[in-house]
Amino acid sequence: MAYKDLREWINRLDKEGELQRIDMEVDWNLELGAIIRRSYDLKERAPFFQKIKDYPKGYRVLGAPAGTSKNPNRYYARIAISFDMKEESSAEEIIEEYLKRKKFPLKPVTVKDGTCKENVLLDKDIDLTKFPVPLFHEGDGGRYIGTWHLVITKDPESEWVNWGMYRLMIHEKDSMGGIIDPAKHIGEMFFQKYKPRNLSMQYAVAIGTEPVSPIIACSFLPSGINEADIVGAIRKEPIELVKCETVDLFVPASSEIVIEGEILSDLMKPEGPFGEYTGYRAGMTSPKPVFKVNAITHRNDPILTVSCMGVPVDDCHACMSLTMAAEILEELREKRLPVKMVYCPPEAVTHMAVVSTKVPYPNFARKIAHTIWGSNAGMYIYWVVVVEDDVDVTKIDEVLHALTTRCHPYNGVSRVKNAPAAAFLLPFLPPKERLSGEGSYILFDCTWPKDWPKEAIPKKASFDTLWPKEIQKKVLSNWRNYGYKD
């Protein structure tokens, strides 16, 4: 059953032991961000701040909405709960369910009114600092109101409406700034279609929606796909949208906060830096487009949802490790490549894909790698690791074992120079390459060479391979009798 709004989902998190209500007053200036960051490090419950310094009662902040759980059997519990799956669902189960549901898009339904309209702020009443927006990290360029949200824009030449997640820093009470990457969908619209015509681009920002929308907003769907339709597919129920007050766009009707306006085609202001998903302060101060605010609407007692990005694993890493892996897996399957599973380890900040496969011919790992690098979802995958199908790609210990025992340090490694990259955020690139957008790709082939005779392939010394099935069965059936609990 789909959640009608953020608050219903928060109640479910609380019931499942994934929420920590913090009643003590917390300072929006660095303290709030530090608490969220510490919760990621410990894989603790999502902090729900009830009292923020300088703000009235009822103005609350939810942090780490998609953070991981310290219980190893519930690592992705918050995402599983968002999809209304069992809390203990594995990465593989969530990936397969995502792909299964995605096949049946459901268009949103339009409603005349929504709770997001309980308060409407126009003209002199517009004030982004009305909300307890954190200064997350020391050294940030400002207070970031957009860290777990939707940025909604429309293609001027078609019915394509993009929902994306792009960082947003407050400039003034009525303006924001953020990265508009030409390689992302918002950049495709802005730089290819609006800016050449000297047209401002209308936008709407929805904060505090039901839980599926932000997860899909930070996924890697192809151009031309309306994320709202996929949100309906994942929820198994259409999402309700309501028309904005001042722009020709529609937002989730139950949003906690909605910001409307225009991205100006002829004005830039310094934005950044910010503690980014790479785990470093990145995207240094530079001129970026300005988001002019024409209206703000919000619920009574609004809840601001935030992600305090940094070293993995945070919300971005957790979500994209699943949705990016799912999109890549679908691409490989559509090419009829014999892959078993794909996983993007969240610890690798979504820059790595691990693929398990049966190898039909020599150099097959290169075929997989180049297919990934040429795909929409794989454009930010710089490391590809290909393993045999006896390796569980969701278990980093098995991946590391394969990497260090099956990948020849010279013959098993392939490098690609001058690859496209989101260069300004990549810590490993020298300053010159960050400016030019030149990256590199690398493949680690951890599969056994096809020209080796069968007897030359080492046999894995594991419980399930070097003992007869009857012994395995006996040991498993007597495990508790030996004195072990699990």
Residues carrying an active site annotation? 276
Burial of 464 (0-12, 13-18, 19+ CB in 10 A): exposed
Question: Contact, 165 vs 218, CB < 8 A?
Answer: yes
**Rounded CA gap, 464 and 392, in Å?**
13
What lies within 8 Å, CB to CB, of 473 at 6+ separation is: none
Using the Cα atoms of residue 89, residue 91, residue 93 and residue 95 in order, give the sign of their dihedral.
positive
**Rounded CA gap, 176 and 150, in Å?**
14
Query: What would the two tokens of residue 70 be?
Result: 């310290």
**Rounded CA gap, 141 and 275, in Å?**
10
Query: What would the two tokens of residue 484 be?
Result: 């072990």
Cis peptide before 287 (omega within 30 of 0): no
**Rounded CA gap, 215 and 201, in Å?**
24
Query: What would the two tokens of residue 96 be?
Result: 């397969």
HSE-up (13 A, CA, CB side) for residue 447: 27
In DSSP notation, 346-388 reads GGGTT-EEEEEE---STTHHHHHHHHHHTSSTTTT--EEEEEE
Burial of 208 (0-12, 13-18, 19+ CB in 10 A): buried
